[in-house]
A and B are shown apart, each in its own frame.
Chain A
Amino acid sequence: METLSNLLHGFAVALIPTNLLSCLVGVAMGTIIGALPGIGPSAGVAILLPLTFGANPTTAMIMLAGIYYGAMYGGTITSVLINTPGESSSVMTTLDGYQMARQGRAGVALGIAALGSFFAGSMGVALLMFFSPLLADFALTFGPPEYFALMVLGFTALAGLSGTSPLKGLISVLLGLLIATVGLDVMTGTSRLTFGRLELLSGIDFLPVAMGLFGLAEVLVGVEKPGGFSIDKADLSLSKVFPRLADWRQSRWPILRGSLLGFIIGVLPGAGATIASFISYALEKRLAKEPERFGRGAIEGVAGPESANNAASAGAMVPLLTLGVPGSATTAIMMGALMMYGLRPGPLLFTQNPDFVWGLIASMYIGNILLVLMNILMIPSFVQILRIPSALLLPLIVVFCVVGVYGLQNSLFDVWLMIFFGLLGYAMKKLDFPTAPLVLALVLGEMLETAFRQSLTMSLGSPAVFLEQPISATLLTLSLLVFLYPLLASLWKGLARGTR
């Protein structure tokens, strides 16, 4: 009951015209930022941070949070329309979303993603409101061994993505892991595989790699034929761009599962949203009656991961607001911003600054409503992008990739990296090597390695550390089961047939 009265008070704060306006501006800017290939939520929040100086902390934070989850919505647009993920958590969306767009179902994919994101975002905020303290304690139980086990579970989920040849999938994963080791080693600070380049000291960022492997490589595939992409343009008429009841029926369970999964994983400080999105994808593929539809435009493959990554962005606010520790790269920047405004995020934030916390939470409800309206109403105009003649659209994609990647760190080196990975991605695509495992391994590789070495450091070298903790032991057992599932299933079938 107290929560509800607090929330009412929060709405009173969030509905003050300046705060309402800053929420609107925030989500609108976030959508644009997210829709630009290259600049994802964390770079977007960092770049727009100076805009909020001078505002009071609540107003400023409402805007920053709006940019954050607005960018999570917006990231879907480029993934679906031009196969270019703007952040690591929408990599999974490209797999089926882009295929749907090529079948003339871009509007349906975007619509389902927006609805799923809305559901996930609102549910995430509700969970955040009622269970924050509890969840914060849960997040703290995760130490290095637990993170290692979670990463292992994530990587076994990757196995389902490797397409036709498991060998090629594994090679792709290894490449990603190897690229993840480039740069200063977290544990010792020694530089690895940098070959004397200063730019490589901070490692190879996900964005240039993803934009190259997905965006640029797809452009190169597109220019092969004089006509460009083969997109079914007949179905772009207004009546057909929105999702129908049948689509919704197909997606509602993936959305619910994705939201829950996303929120729980998002609460854990670290690579929450990304892991959440691809565990959700793997889960939906496992549960589907015809898993072979995945990768060819299955709507569940968009609904699940998109809900998961939005719920995770709400989840990532839990450690920030309740513990004063950042849950993701973006919330780390927001925490810095809070300190600049003179608010000190910590365990006492809820009691010392109720206006701020509840105002922010209430504004997230409002922001989610604004976003779902905005995104659904804009679908017809977004879809028009596909009508641009490909001789213009393809170079335009390259241009936006280049400028976006440059804007990340103001560095041309990143642009060169992107072009290199574009060529690599083109070769991989032509030779039937899956690229998604490379990107995901790159995102999660550092955490996997660091957690592994940290755990062994903590136990002074004893590998038993992974099995002594209940959470990590459970997660590792689960990964083993997931890994062996196809084998067990066929064994079971064989037995069943044998006894008959």
Chain B
Amino acid sequence: MQSTSRRGKAPGAVRASILGLTRTLSIPALAVLTALLIGALIMLLSGGNPLVGYVALFEGAFGKARSLSETAVAATPYVFAGLGIALGFRGGLFNIGVEGQLFIGSICAAGVGYAVHGLPWFIHMPLALLAGCLGGAICAGIPGFLKAKTGAHEVITTIMINYMAIYFTNWLVTGPMQDPGTIVPQTRRILATAEIPAIWGAYRVHWGTVLAIAAAALVFWLLWRTVLGFEIRTVGANPDAAKYAGIHVGRNIVITMMLSGALAGAAGAVEVLGLNHYFAPSFSIGYGFDSIAVAVLGKSHPWGVVASAFLFGALNNGANLMQLRTQSPVYIISIVQALILMLVSADQIVRRLYRLKDLPKGNLATPAVATSESALGTGKEAKS
């Protein structure tokens, strides 16, 4: 998809690129529409009123300045986490451990945020954010290392670390890191110097949203403007070829996983530093898993991820008003998101439904996820 923008200045190039863009966007747009329609059907069959529901959803997401702010707030962790998964996809890795990395990242950020004293904000806040990234990176680096060294499939190891991370943070906030002033399992409030400030008066939207978009630019730069990014993409496209080209595949896997984990950690850290100002285990609503759909819908492209993260943020935020007005549980949005993931990846279904022309096989259909992967449990890297 990025090739369309580089086609040069030949006559008709603009038209071709517009055509290319519409073609690129038509499938995701139709997939989202279809998923919403199926969601409406489910609501209808279970006694809800989808029309009223979706109007409330839209109003809840965009109706007032406050709803816009809340949509941006909800989108922010999706941007970071989606970028993390997309980066993994580009490197041929499926990091399903984003949820756990998010937990570790946010508790690291919270720890630095409340325990480190006497720093000016322009050091303290970045330090806390960095701690979050580091926590996520280590958390993801372990499965990366295991994959590179032993071939243990990252899909299972990262999921196992998810559960361990959740237990571990749970222990921290009921033990050594619990706020002594309360019996609730949560950390102390971070210091004001560690907070990411709000952007817009009394609204909750904070500079973390801007950081998220900056992170997307950074990931774009990394992937398409640096040698490391080239290596990551080469390993993702064809690990064997990468090996023969002299790329150290094992090291590359570890680096990709750590970068992916750092983004996931940032997702959690920004939630703590910009929004909640403390860590409690209930803060994540499954961002890590939804973000898989965000990355796939965004075609694993940084700007695509930003767009789909805002869509998911809008859906999740709007769902609250929908539940309030129509009693349709917010979970309908999880169903819709799963359907989006399905329809975007199996784009043949959408093409068939809307009688679109088939593209050549494999074109734009699936993200660059682990095409070289065979079964769970072993990777080609095990032999190299």
Chains A and B form a bound pair: no
